[in-house]
Amino acid sequence: MRPGLTRELAPPPRRAPHRRFLPTPALPRDEPGLYPGEPMTCRRNLAAFLLVLAHLALLLAVAKVYRLEGRAFQIMMTLATVALPIHYLLPFRLKLPGFLLASMVGLSLVFGTVTAAIVVTLGVGLILLSRLPISWNARVVAMAAVVAAMAAARAGLARTPVPDVVWPILGSMFMFRMILYLYELKHAETSESFTDALAYFFLVPNVCFVHFPVVDYRTFRRGYFARDIHETQRDGLRMMLRGTLHLLLYRLVYHELLIPMDQVRSVPSLLGFLSCNYLLYLRVSGQFHMACGLLHLFGFSLPETHRHYLLATGFTDYWRRINIYWKDFMVRVVFNPVVFRLKRCGQGPALAVATTVVFLVTWALHAYQSFWLRGTWGVSLPDALFWAILGVLVLVNVQLDARTPRRAKPRAIDLSARPLAIRAAKTVATFATIALLWSLWSSPSLSAWFSMLRRATG
Amino acid sequence: MIPPANSSLRVSFAVTAVVLAIALIPLPGNRARSILRSVRSPEPNNADREGHAGGYYVGLIDGGPDMGRDELTLRLLGKTSDWKSFHEIEATRYLRGDFLQFELKPNEDKTVFGKRFTTNDRGLRDRAYALAKPEGTFRVALLGSSMDMGWGVSTDETYENRLEDWLNAHAARRGITRRFEVINFAMAAYSPLHRLEVFRRKARDYQPDLVLYSSTMLDTRLLEIQLRNMLRDDQDPQYDFLRRALAAMDVSPADLRAEKDVIKSKIRPHLWPVIDATVGDLAARCRSEDYGLAMIVIPRVGQSDSPELRGPSIESFAAIASRHAVPLLDLSATFDNRDPATIEIAAWDDHPNALGHKLLFQALAHAIADNVTLYHTIFGVEPPTP
């Protein structure tokens, strides 16, 4: 992977962000902690690394003692702890193959050798298909045809010798990342290496988290050894600790605080249920932090997946803070292309149409995700209403934001009473609205949801 | 240059160490320990467990698939290589239109969790026994559900067979010539009513001297499923007390077609009274045939039967036992202060493993030894003085 052999130009001239990198010059042969020709970011330091490894071992102990997640997660954490020192000592050119090997071992340990072999074979086939020396449009059509055939097998419409368990694993790795990869292949100025593609699709933590953040290919490549490895690893450990705390808090809420929907009988019990039901999302944010934190350990510097989403002060703010990778995916693949095509219609209509399309696509892709991971589309009236209402709220918010004149962003939060009170009120209102919407989304039916509200209020 | 480990990493390291220490250091106070157990528990919570229990048992009773345990989930959560659901081992014979609804097939020999699941020639999860009681033998009939049947353990590892071995060994040590047979009539998903029916139709034929009626905190749930199916299939209630209870539930044909919650809300107020009447009926029958009777309470592994959650059920069982003058051996605390990981058969399955059954046996043996009347009934002599 080449992004590690790049450095940022300083000061950055007026260039597009993706053009701001230049190859890092090769280093002299006698640099301590480096093999000849390796980038500085890869420089080894035993003391710094042992601290990282000790911290990872401590996190592994926490995962074992608290029995976090399940068998697959325990295997993956153990594998990461064993593989990390080997990966760290490997020459830079072997690090990516080493990472891939760890993924394959993890896949075999969790799902068995036969299942792993089928997943890898089908996955490699999909990657090769996306790289066929034919036009991009023809490749997309061919990919759509193959995915449709796989979907028929997943739905049980077509009989194949492929075990059922293969489809959700393959879906988890390819359902969204292939969209981004094809998008990248269309816009890339240089050819993408096959090893990069393999590493992108067969990510170590994906083995235990089938619900996986939509990692962007370009970001993934650019972040690889883009900074000093120990800094990246330390960021990863902090991310993993945050993930651990989210998962433990989730357990606390799930076992100790959450009441069943049919036990909501009063306004206080309704408020408790709404808050706790929404807080179950801590499991998703915990898993995403864990997954991305682990990738950091192997040199992939990635952005954070969530940013204090419980403290959002509006619906666009919420959309930006929760599942940031999804928001970026939608912005890149849907929002920007739509806005670009409609720019002649004026900013307001273009933003409105683009936001609407983003939420329609998000709704459809959540059903598509449910199909690959669970085998059912999971489309229901509460589900449709959830995305429709959230879409409208964000749409209104986007329009209001667009009409508000831009001001320079303050460096720190104003701590005087009035702005703090306004901020707190906005946060509470956003939390309350999202929690209410979340209860609608998780309700088995619209009548069950209204029935709960009636019991609580009357 | 390599930057030194910065302060935020030290903070992160310290927080991780504190989180680990909280789990390892004994915490003061029951509430703190209970919260810690919750945070360490990978099990479903009570609501989900009830829904899952319904799924599992409804699947078992109705012959449907085991819910939510597909290959992917099992691989991610943790499954032994030969894991099978109870439904999958096909050891159940369904009795359509029969009050008993289902029973074990005879002469089964399957491997589950690496353990042999066997039934004898009379369809009991037990060793082979002659129908006629041998001379000088004291027979104990055990009525219960899956915890007592033994799931994920071999036949000799069940607490019931350990009890039989101990009774014989203890009698031999004390010079008592009496032999003991403990016969297991338990079956997965058997509700209190099933247990009564099994006593009437099967256990009596073995001329037991003592009947052990086993209860679990899942009894109300099992009974609810059975009653719902009875109402749906318009089955004959067989027992007068049940006929009266069903009439009091006032379930209309429209209720049966409505959402499950409607019929559940009509059944639930009657569950404990039906259990009470079931034990009452069993006690009366045992008394009339001069069989001894004792109630035992068996816990599940994990959070579902934690002291806080099982309290109301234990109170109800105690009240029922007292009302019908039946001795109650409460073994529900057997797994308290034990790491569930060491005594459950799997992270998602709260049945005890071989160690769990051993602990249950030890608790039961102690309870028998501590109960002078029961000890005398079983051994025919006074318990040894300490």
Would an 8 Å CB–CB cutoff place A446 in contact with chain B? Answer: no
B339 inside 8 A of chain A by CB: no
CB-based burial label for A35 (10 Å; 0-12, 13-18, 19+) = middle
Domain boundaries, chain A: 41-228, 261-403+418-457
Cβ distance of A66 and B13 shorter than 8 Å: no
Asked if residue B82 has pLDDT above 60, the reply is no
Q: Which amino acid is at B2?
A: I
Q: What are phi and psi of B12, to 5 degrees?
A: -60, -45
Looking at residue A28, what is its pLDDT? 53
- The total number of residues shown for chain A amounts to 458
Residue A65 in contact with partner chain B when CB distance is under 8 A: yes
Contact A273, A261 (CB under 8 A): yes
- Tell me the average pLDDT across A274-286: 95
DSSP for A405-446? PP-PPPSS---SHHHHHHHHHHHHHHHHHHHHHHHHHHSS-H
8 Å CB contact between B295 and B321: yes
Instruction: Take residue B243 and report the two structure tokens written for it.
Output: 């006929």
> Could you give the CA distance from residue B294 to residue A386 in angstroms, rounded to a whole number?
54
DSSP H or E stretch at residue A183:
helix A177-187
Q: Considering only residues 188 to 247 of chain A, which have any Cβ-Cβ distance to chain B shorter than 8 Å?
A: 208, 210, 228, 230-231, 234, 237-238, 241, 244-245
Lowest-pLDDT choice from A4-13, A77-86, A97-106, B272-281: A4-13
With beta carbons under 8 A apart, name residues in chain B contacting A58: 13, 16-17, 20
pLDDT tens-digit readout, A315-335:
999 999 999 999 999 999 999
Cβ neighbours around A257 below 10 Å, total: 14
Tell me, what's the pLDDT at B385? 78
Q: What is the mean pLDDT of residues B145-153?
A: 94
Per residue in B338-382, pLDDT (tens digit) is 888 889 887 778 899 999 999 999 999 999 999 999 999 999 999
- Note whether A97 and A236 are within 8 A (CB): no
B358 and B313 in contact (C-beta within 8 Å)?
A: no
Q: Is A430 or B86 the better-scoring residue by pLDDT?
A: A430
Exposure string (b/e) for B131-156, b if CB count within 10 Å is 16 or more?
Answer: eeeeeeebbbbbbbbbbbbbbbbbbb
Average pLDDT over every residue of A380-388 = 94
In tens, the pLDDT along B158-208 reads: 999 999 999 999 999 999 999 999 999 999 999 999 999 999 999 999 999
Give the alpha-carbon dihedral of A66, A70, A71, A77, to 10 degrees.
-60
Helix (H) or strand (E) holding B377: helix B372-379
- What digits encode the pLDDT tens for the residues B17-27? 999 999 998 88
Residue B150 has a pLDDT of: 95
Quick one: pLDDT at residue B30? 78
Determine the average pLDDT of the residues in B322-328.
97
Query: For residue A173, is pLDDT > 70?
Result: yes
Better-scored residue on pLDDT, B326 or A348 = B326
* pLDDT band at residue B261 under the 50/70/90 scheme: confident
Per-residue pLDDT at B72: 81
Give the pLDDT band of residue B63 (cuts 50, 70, 90): very low
Q: Does A71 touch chain B (CB under 8 A)?
A: yes
| Angle (nearest 5°) at CA B342 between B26 and A67 | 70
Residue A365 reports pLDDT greater than 90: yes
Q: Is the pLDDT of residue A222 over 80?
A: yes
CA quadruple A214, A217, A220, A225: dihedral, nearest 10: 170
How far apart CA B137 and CA A95 sit, in angstroms, is 72
Please, what sign has the CA dihedral across residues A157, A163, A168, A171?
A: negative
- Contact yes or no for B19 and A54 at CB 8 A: no
Tokens of B198: 């099994």
Contacts of A185 (CB under 8 A, 6+ apart): A130, A131, A136, A139, A192
pLDDT at A406: 67
pTM of structure? 0.79
Contact B16 A169 (CB under 8 A): no
Q: Is pLDDT of A10 > 70?
A: no
ipTM of the predicted assembly exceeds 0.90: no
Q: Tell me: the pLDDT tens digits for B311-321? A: 999 999 999 99
Q: Hey, are the CB atoms on A51 and B38 less than 8 Å from each other?
A: no
Write the DSSP assignment of A207-225 as a string of letters.
Answer: GT-SS-----HHHHHHTBT
If DSSP codes are grouped into helix, strand and coil, which group holds residue A264?
coil
Q: What is the DSSP string of A54-72?
A: HHHHHHHHHHHHTT-S-HH
Q: Does B341 touch chain A (CB under 8 A)?
A: yes
Closest of B301, B297, B309 to residue B46, by C-alpha: B309
**How many inter-chain contacts (A to B, CB under 8 Å) are there?**
118
Taking CA–CA distances from A245, the nearest residue in chain B reads B19
Quick one: pLDDT band at residue B52, thresholds 50, 70, 90? low
d(CA A358, CA A364): 10
> In the numeric block, which tokens belong to residue B224?
């609810």
pLDDT at A6: 42
Whether the pLDDT of residue A428 is over 90: the answer is: yes
Instruction: Assess whether pLDDT exceeds 50 at residue A344.
Output: yes
Q: State the average pLDDT for chain A.
A: 91
Q: How far apart are CA B206 and CA B133, in angstroms?
A: 6
CA–CA distance, A86 with B275 (Å, rounded to integer) = 62
Torsion of Cα atoms, B117 then B123 then B126 then B130, to 10°: -150
For residue A129, is pLDDT > 70? yes
**CB contacts, 8 Å: A88 with chain B:** none
Q: Dihedral sign, CA of A227, A229, A235, A239?
A: positive
CB A146 within 8 A of CB A126: yes
Tell which residue, B283, B376, B264, has the closest CA to residue B328.
Answer: B283
Nearest-CB residue to A258 (from B20, B45, B303): B45
Q: Are A29 and A36 a contacting pair, CB within 8 Å?
A: yes
- Residues, chain B, total? 386
Where does residue A25 rank: exposed (0-12), middle (13-18), buried (19+ CB within 10 A)?
exposed
Q: Is A43 on the interface with B (CB under 8 A)?
A: yes
HSE-CB for B308 with a 13 A CA cutoff: 13
Angle of CA points B334, B338, B342, to nearest 5°: 110
Encoded amino acid at B81, one letter: S
Please report the residues numbered 297 through 336 in chain B whose beta carbons come closer than 8 angstroms to any beta carbon of chain A: 303
Tell me: the pLDDT tens digits for B264-312?
889 999 999 999 999 999 999 999 999 999 999 999 998 778 888 899 9
Average the pLDDT over each of A214-228, A275-289, B46-60 and give the range with the smallest value: B46-60
Whether the CB-CB separation of B218 and B174 falls below 8 Å is answered with no
β-sheet bridge partners, residue B295? B213, B328
Question: Can you give the pLDDT at residue A7?
Answer: 43
pLDDT tens-digit series, residues A30-77: 678 899 989 999 999 999 999 999 999 999 999 999 999 988 999 999
More confident call, A190 vs B157: B157
User: What digits encode the pLDDT tens for the residues B87-98?
Assistant: 778 899 999 889
In this prediction, residue A297 carries a pLDDT of 98
- How many C-beta neighbours within 10 Å does residue A413 have? 9
State CA B15 to chain mean position distance: 40
Q: Is the dihedral of CA B2, B5, B6, B9 positive or negative?
A: positive
Q: What is the mean pLDDT of residues A194-214?
A: 95
Residue B139 near residue B212 (C-beta atoms within 8 A): no
Q: Is B110 helix (H, G, I), strand (E, B) or coil?
A: strand
